[in-house]
Amino acid sequence: MELLMIALSLILLITLAYRGFSVILIAPLLAMFAAAVSDMSTMPVYGELFMTKAAEFIKLYYPIFLLGAVFARLMEQSGMVASLASLVANKLGKERAILAVLIGGGIMTYGGINVFVGVFVMYPVAAVLFRGAGVPKRLMPAALWMGIFTYAMVALPGTPQIQNIIPAAFFGTSTWAAPVTSILSAVVYFVIAWGWLTYRYKKLKAQGEGYGDYTLNEPDPIDVSSLPSWKVSIIPFLVVLGLNLFLSNPFQWAWAYHWQTSLLEPLKHLKLSLLSPSVEKAQAIWSLEIALGFGSVAALIFGRKRLKIQGFVKQLNAGAMSSLAAVMNTASVVAFGSVITSLASFQIIKDSLLNLHIGSGPLFSEVITTNVMIVLSGSASGGMTIALGMLGNEWANWAAQIGMSPDILHRIVCLASAGLDTLPHNGALLTLVGVCGLTYRESYADIAALTVFKVLVAFVFIAWYSITGIA
Q: Which of 5-9, 177-181, 306-310, 358-362 is the least confident region?
A: 306-310
Tell me how far apart the alpha carbons of residues 70 and 79 are, in angstroms, rounded to a whole number: 14
Tell me how far apart the alpha carbons of residues 170 and 279 are, in angstroms, rounded to a whole number: 12
What digits encode the pLDDT tens for the residues 324-345? 887 888 888 888 888 888 888 8
Tell me how far apart the alpha carbons of residues 190 and 148 are, in angstroms, rounded to a whole number: 11
pLDDT at residue 459 greater than cutoff 70: yes
Q: Specify the pLDDT at position 221.
A: 67
pLDDT over 70 for what percent of the chain? Answer: 98
DSSP type of residue 49: I
What digits encode the pLDDT tens for the residues 406-446? 999 999 999 999 999 998 777 788 888 888 888 888 899 99
pLDDT band per the 50, 70, 90 thresholds, residue 448: very high
- Mean pLDDT in the chain? 87
pLDDT over 90 for what percent of the chain? Answer: 39
Q: Which of 149-158, 283-292, 447-456 is the least confident region?
A: 283-292
Residue predicted with more confidence, 238 or 42: 238
pLDDT band per the 50, 70, 90 thresholds, residue 359: low
- Mean per-residue pLDDT for 133-143? 94
Residue predicted with more confidence, 19 or 61: 61
Residue predicted with more confidence, 216 or 49: 49
418 backbone φψ class: left, alpha, beta (φ>0; ψ -120 to 50): alpha
pLDDT band per the 50, 70, 90 thresholds, residue 402: very high
What digits encode the pLDDT tens for the residues 171-213? 989 999 999 999 999 999 999 999 999 999 999 999 999 998 8
State the burial class of residue 252 (Cβ atoms within 10 Å of its Cβ: 0-12, 13-18, 19+): exposed
**Predicted TM-score of the model (pTM):** 0.84
Q: Specify the pLDDT at position 108.
A: 87
pLDDT at residue 16 greater than cutoff 90: no
DSSP type of residue 225: G
What digits encode the pLDDT tens for the residues 286-307? 998 999 999 999 999 998 888 8
Q: Specify the pLDDT at position 139.
A: 96
With beta carbons less than 8 A apart as the criterion, state whether 86 and 124 touch.
no
pLDDT band per the 50, 70, 90 thresholds, residue 77: confident
Q: Specify the pLDDT at position 98.
A: 94
What digits encode the pLDDT tens for the residues 365-377? 999 999 988 887 7
Tell me how far apart the alpha carbons of residues 213 and 196 are, in angstroms, rounded to a whole number: 24
- Mean per-residue pLDDT for 34-42? 82
Q: What is the CA radius of gyration of the chain?
A: 22
Q: Specify the pLDDT at position 222.
A: 66
- Mean per-residue pLDDT for 360-388? 88
| Phi, psi at 30, each rounded to 5° | -75, -30
pLDDT at residue 151 greater than cutoff 60: yes
pLDDT at residue 217 greater than cutoff 80: no
- Mean per-residue pLDDT for 397-414? 95
